[in-house]
Amino acid sequence: MATATSYEQWKDAAQTLDALENKSAWKDNIASDIYNYELLSDRLILLRKFKEQGDIDGLYRALREGLHHDLGNMGDIRLYQQCHFGTKSLIEDYVTEVCSSLEYVCDNNLNNLTAAKKLDFFKDILLSFGRPALLLSGGASLGVFHIGVVKALWEHDLLPQVINGSSSGSIIAAALGTHTDEELPALFDPNAHNMKAWRWMGLLNGVKGKGFMDQRQLQDYIRSYVGEYTMQEAYEKTGRSINISVSPVQQNQKARLLCGYTSPYILSWSAALASCAVPAIFPPVKLLKKDHEGRNVPYMPRLRWVDGSMVSDLPVERLMHLYDVNYTIVSQTNPHVVPFLDRSNEEGKNRLWKMPAALLKAEAAFHGKAICDYVRQHSDSEIIRQVSGHCYSMMSQNYYGDVTVAPRYKLGHYLKVLSNPDSDFIKELMLEGERATWPKIAMIRTHSKISKTLEKCIEKLKADVRTHRATLSVIA
């Protein structure tokens, strides 16, 4: 499993290991005190009965009132740690049946139910049920790991419609927002990437505040990778809601989440460039937007922005308010975060001997934040205040999601953080991203598949409504 080069290889190895350890009996036995198997079983039987009897009204009402995220605690992480592949058969059958029922209602003519009414029906369910989001952290060149995570999710039809990126993750997010599903395979080719984002500008430039690295080179790379789309144009092209985090330089400003809702006319590449502006490495960025004539003009010219991961690496609460996000998939590659991630949950371990280390880490974080907070409020040096403020923000953040996918760094990884990765290194990191995602596919599917089905039904019904209106206008 650890050396698999494709999902099929990993799956075969995982299923073989499950068979050797006799895990099939656990999967087939629906009973467990971790989740409400009776509730799920009743719902499954009810949905199947309505479909078999052709009771459309009963199916319609059952879906409208009975769909709830994480019903019966079926997404509990412990249900996905018993086997190497999959979970309880009842959970998998339930999710499959719900998606099948939703597609049945969407695709079939129902009594007195127009496409417009069905569209409202599915929108109401999605609003109530919620949706997942993918959050891509910072990580400089190590952010290539994100591409492997995205590839694994996309190949299993689990790539969320809502995607957030900070720092290097913003480049991947912006690319996802400007490349359709037909264009995405090109992004997954390690040999197709020309990642020449870094060029050393000399020590003197850095000391003067112009940045140690050439921002023009980074800008040219991002523009070639992302294109000239605004946030709104990107959504209209791909249907993906792309969000990019940026951090303020000036006082009396808060971190911003740039997206189609909050800043529809901002250029995606400009937002990504600002989110990648690591203080000292690159100078702060003035954002650009398209005006009503399509010209590139400054957005809030007095303001400058820097690395999004400094203050808001994972803006979960903001995404919850904007998109009804109820489940987060985090791809975490920050070099200063990954070594300290608690992996006990994902490994199914909770050992008492880890408690002293956890307490020591919590105590260090508490005092570290207190020191940084004191320095940023009392120092006479503007540079020291900014640095201590960023350190405080970094230590105060939560770097986890409901599912957190992360690499296991070695010394060689850190030596390439600020270097232009070649195709071999890109291939290596992408494969690490895929391997880290494969064991979590079953849990992600339980939380995400129903939302993805709802989103697809909504898009289909929107097209049906537009077609119907166009037909009426022709007749008129």
Distance CA 45, CA 101 (A): 12
Distance CA 258, CA 246 (A): 8
| pLDDT level of residue 236 (50, 70, 90 thresholds) | very high
The question of whether 167 is a catalytic residue gets the answer yes
Least confident of 116-130, 176-190, 349-363, 411-425: 349-363
Provide mean pLDDT across the span 12-31: 93
Identify the pLDDT of residue 367.
Answer: 52
Residues 6+ apart with CB under 8 A from 237: 177, 178, 180, 229
Residues 6+ apart with CB under 8 A from 92: 86, 442, 446
Please determine, for residue 155, whether its predicted confidence score (pLDDT) is greater than 70. yes
How do residues 266-308 score in pLDDT, each as one tens digit? 999 999 999 999 888 899 999 999 999 999 999 999 999 988 7
State the chain's mean pLDDT as an integer: 87
Distances (CA, A) of 181 to 158, 190, 239, 282, 343: 13, 17, 10, 33, 33
Tokens standing for 354?
A: 């880890």
Identify the pLDDT of residue 204.
Answer: 81
Distance CA 419, CA 410 (A): 16
Selecting among 307, 331, 388, 451, the annotated active-site residue is 307
Provide mean pLDDT across the span 104-118: 83
Question: In terms of pLDDT, which residue wins out, 197 or 446?
Answer: 446
Selecting among 166, 167, 388, 451, the annotated active-site residue is 167
| pLDDT level of residue 149 (50, 70, 90 thresholds) | very high
The question of whether 307 is a catalytic residue gets the answer yes
Distance CA 99, CA 424 (A): 40
Identify the pLDDT of residue 165.
Answer: 95
